[in-house]
Structure 1
């Protein structure tokens, strides 16, 4: 089969929600035409939808390396990198009671995630929580204001804002 045939087959698999088979088709297309940035990009998206960030980033990096002129490739790569940073920061925050060496590391990771993907709401929420844990409530509120501007109708975010404001008031007393 030609690379185009494999890509068509991959999309048929995606329409059937058979993402594992779609990935195999994309990988076959890449084997036939390893220099095709578009196929790498599409394969990366499918890996990401399947929760395989490691492989998604591998193919996104390849797509950017092959054709750095397409902004969608770069934006996709940045989005994936931000997801990875948020995941790492969440792990550090959840393991916080187990003797974290650098309590500011999650904040650093989350700030980098926000820079890479300013539309990543999870990054802002986790950044707010990380700041709050460090008793940096003003920064927590600022981070939460950013995500509320992205999701103005989210009642959970508004409740979190009220909780952070209460924490700030208690801290100020």
Structure 2
């Protein structure tokens, strides 16, 4: 079952990776076509490409996260600090993508209809809330790690002793 799970997660990672590459490709294609049209400004085309690339980076990071945590490592036991670092890295990329996307949408909306700036502002607020949530997660998980860290280290030492004892028992 472990191999089937890894295969499914690997396939999902590959599909996400290909979708991210397609987003970049289609974004560049649309921009090149948009620059050539007289009714479409070059700045709008570039902002559109930025939007595609930002989303592609977020999708690529999700694919990388899934691959590293579910395919490469599988069911291998992870410490709390390792899980926290991995999740922090993943969420940091998402927060950066949210901020960049919000800025792109602010610029596009400000050029078209200033009255619609409420929506990009809401996106900026959402990005700030995710960032604050990430900070709270860091704070709480770090304090839990301090309390639980000794227990994790003791278990890891026991596991290492068991692994070393197995080959000797077979001889």
| TM-score normalised by L of structure 2 | 0.35
Q: Which has the higher contact order (CA 8 A, sep 6+)?
A: 2
Larger Rg: 2
